[in-house]
A and B are shown apart, each in its own frame.
Chain A
Amino acid sequence: MRIEISGLTKKYRGGVAALDGLDLTVPTGMFGLLGANGAGKTTLMRILAGIVRPTSGAVAVGGHDIATGAGRTAVQRTLGYLPQDLGVYPDLTARQFLDYVALLKGMDDRTTRRRRVGELLEVVALTEHADRRLRGFSGGMRQRVGIAQALLADPQLLIVDEPTAGLDPEERIRFRTLLSQFAGRRTVLLSTHIVDDIGQTCREVAVLAKGRLIFRGTVEELTRHAQGRVWSVVTDGPAPTEGTVVSALPQDDGMRYRIVSPAAPSPEARPVEPGLEDGYLAVMAR
């Protein structure tokens, strides 16, 4: 399911532009969305999910114009959405919550619905907690319920906003793998602050800043943006002030800094191979 966005602008009250003339095409498969807080990622996802209306511009999802009610409903029939700030009804059990969302998604057949809910509880490893009220669930368990509800109606478009927040490392890896396996001929739009999650799952990625698209390409192209701009500096003095410090690792002879900078941040700096995180920082620093 292809997403075509042109000139998309969203202004909230007070004139704040969360999206400012965004043009973007998202193909079938896993697609990553990166950007700092306030870059407009969540607004874009809420527009694609039909929750928020754009101020101007055009968005077509699988050929459906989401500016129209019929278009939005058509998209929502094939949509799985995991919002960033997920909430659940504390007074329902995990099974009841999923059953309710399944009914709202139009899964009318009771047998099919129950089977699907059971399968997804298994997938997110919540079968033994399925009949416990969500009130007692930890943040990670609630997140897994959120993941399950997003997958309920076998969506052709899956929009996941910070899906691995609150998951432990093992759960995170399991969910990443699940997303990749799920993608296949579907479209999965993954927004995250964890650049590594994008690197492990997506072939293509877009970077937003201040509501605008500042990069779109493959993960390798994003990484190449930092080619010749990543430096390693070991010093027992103060941190270099030139460029962006990516990491600081204590060593026997001082601190090893990894720095993204157009020029060597100090005479003793030596160039190193860039990673995806370096590429992201290089694009953001442009």
Chain B
Amino acid sequence: MTVFGASLRYEFHMQVRKRSVWIVPALILVLFVLIGGSLLRDLFDPRERAADPRTAVVALAVQIFGLLAIGFGGLLADRFVRDDRLRVAPILDATPASPGARLLGKYLGTGAATAIPIAVAYFGFATAYAVDAGAPAALGWALAAFAAVFVPGLLFVAAFALAVPMVMPAPLFRVLFVGYWLWGNVVSPDIMPTLARTLIHPLGGYPLAALFDFHGIDGQDTWAGPIPGATLNFLRPDPTPALAWLSIALLLILAAAALAGGQALRARRLR
């Protein structure tokens, strides 16, 4: 087994057994349903849900991802710095294993473990919808939405959640991350500058708009592209499939840059 494989395996193993990895998303979902998650309930109401399965499961993806990414980022915030905090780092650093391969394994292992409850929730609801609506095609769309929206977005969030606590305490990162997520996803860009509807929007506005032709349940929403009067419109060209792939690539490039920055910072501190 390679260093990457070993790190992936054991980091996954440690993270997936953390109770908070399961409790936090469960609590968020329960709270959401209790305080007004009508769209989750509407999914099973033939009068309220979207007419076609693609719109239904893509809308579900937006909701589940938008909600659970908050917990996802918070749960990963201590993973990179904890080797030093637990004082395991000197043992690992004294092995011939490449720090880069170790970090990559940690990133993907902890990220995958923390994403499992999200995937369970998403595919659970999608499957229930597919059965309830008699629309097996929904599962195919759910898989596609998971690959094009969840995966790049979660990789982006995970990279920053691992790297940023190198320069600030993990609890502070969690607070700032929640603030950023609400700012970036709830506040309209014409009210104050946000990354919403830009090419680097981790919620995946361009893939939603250009790959899934998604415009909200009622077909009235826009998820990508310019907004009159908003700043950062240079990052909001009119959505096309090519730009959707570019958006995914940009998220992955930024994730890689964040990880490399975190790694470089740690190496510098060791010196």
Q: In the complex the two chains form, is B95's CB within 8 Å of A83's CB?
A: no
Q: In the complex the two chains form, is A51's CB within 8 Å of B87's CB?
A: no
B1-39: contact bitstring with A at CB < 8 Å (1 yes, 0 no)?
Answer: 101011100100110011000000000000000000000
Query: A77 CA to B3 CA in the complex, in Å?
Result: 13
- Using Cβ atoms and an 8 Å threshold, which residues of chain B touch A92? 10, 13-14
Given A101-B95, A108-B1, are A96 and B10 also a contact pair (CB < 8 Å)?
A: yes
- Using Cβ atoms and an 8 Å threshold, which residues of chain A touch B168? none
Q: In the complex the two chains form, is B6's CB within 8 Å of A100's CB?
A: yes
Excluding A46-B90, A104-B6, A104-B96, 9 further A-B contacts by CB distance (< 8 Å) are A76-B95, A81-B91, A83-B87, A83-B94, A85-B87, A91-B17, A92-B14, A105-B95, A105-B97
- Among residues of B, the one whose C-beta sits closest to the C-beta of A91 is B14
A-binding residues in B (CB < 8 A)? 1, 3, 5-7, 10, 13-14, 17-18, 86-97, 102, 270-271
**CB < 8 Å neighbour of A103 from B6, B14, B93:** B6
Check A79 for interface membership: any CB of B closer than 8 A: yes
Q: In the complex the two chains form, is B90's CB within 8 Å of A51's CB?
A: yes
Query: A196 CA to B10 CA in the complex, in Å?
Result: 39
* 26 pairs, A vs B, C-beta closer than 8 Å: A49-B94, A51-B93, A51-B270, A52-B270, A52-B271, A53-B270, A76-B96, A83-B91, A86-B87, A87-B87, A88-B88, A89-B14, A89-B88, A91-B14, A91-B18, A96-B10, A96-B13, A100-B6, A101-B92, A103-B1, A103-B3, A103-B6, A104-B3, A104-B92, A104-B95, A105-B97
Query: A177 CA to B13 CA in the complex, in Å?
Result: 36
Q: In the complex the two chains form, is A89's CB within 8 Å of B86's CB?
A: yes
- Among residues of A, the one whose C-beta sits closest to the C-beta of B267 is A53
Q: In the complex the two chains form, is A90's CB within 8 Å of B86's CB?
A: yes
Given A73-B96, A104-B97, A104-B102, are A86 and B91 also a contact pair (CB < 8 Å)?
A: yes
Compute the total of residue contacts between A and B using a CB distance below 8 Å: 77
- Using Cβ atoms and an 8 Å threshold, which residues of chain B touch A81? 90-91, 94
Interface of chain A: mostly helix, strand, loop or mixed? loop
Query: A151 CA to B91 CA in the complex, in Å?
Result: 12
Query: A155 CA to B123 CA in the complex, in Å?
Result: 48
Query: A137 CA to B89 CA in the complex, in Å?
Result: 19
- Using Cβ atoms and an 8 Å threshold, which residues of chain B touch A105? 95-97
A31-57: contact bitstring with B at CB < 8 Å (1 yes, 0 no)?
Answer: 000000000000000100111110000
- Among residues of A, the one whose C-beta sits closest to the C-beta of B96 is A76
Query: A77 CA to B97 CA in the complex, in Å?
Result: 9
- Using Cβ atoms and an 8 Å threshold, which residues of chain B touch A106? 95-97
A92-118: contact bitstring with B at CB < 8 Å (1 yes, 0 no)?
Answer: 100010001101111010000000000
Interface of chain B: mostly helix, strand, loop or mixed? helix
- Among residues of A, the one whose C-beta sits closest to the C-beta of B7 is A104
Check A164 for interface membership: any CB of B closer than 8 A: no
Check A223 for interface membership: any CB of B closer than 8 A: no
Query: A79 CA to B91 CA in the complex, in Å?
Result: 11
- Using Cβ atoms and an 8 Å threshold, which residues of chain B touch A201? none
CB distance from A23 to the nearest CB of B (A): 22
Q: In the complex the two chains form, is B10's CB within 8 Å of A100's CB?
A: yes
Check A192 for interface membership: any CB of B closer than 8 A: no
A173-217: contact bitstring with B at CB < 8 Å (1 yes, 0 no)?
Answer: 000000000000000000000000000000000000000000000
- Using Cβ atoms and an 8 Å threshold, which residues of chain B touch A156? none
CB distance from A214 to the nearest CB of B (A): 26
- Using Cβ atoms and an 8 Å threshold, which residues of chain A touch B90? 46, 49, 51, 81, 83, 85
Query: A73 CA to B94 CA in the complex, in Å?
Result: 9
Query: A211 CA to B139 CA in the complex, in Å?
Result: 66
Check A232 for interface membership: any CB of B closer than 8 A: no
Query: A52 CA to B267 CA in the complex, in Å?
Result: 9
CB distance from A88 to the nearest CB of B (A): 6
- Using Cβ atoms and an 8 Å threshold, which residues of chain A touch B94? 49-51, 76, 79, 81, 83
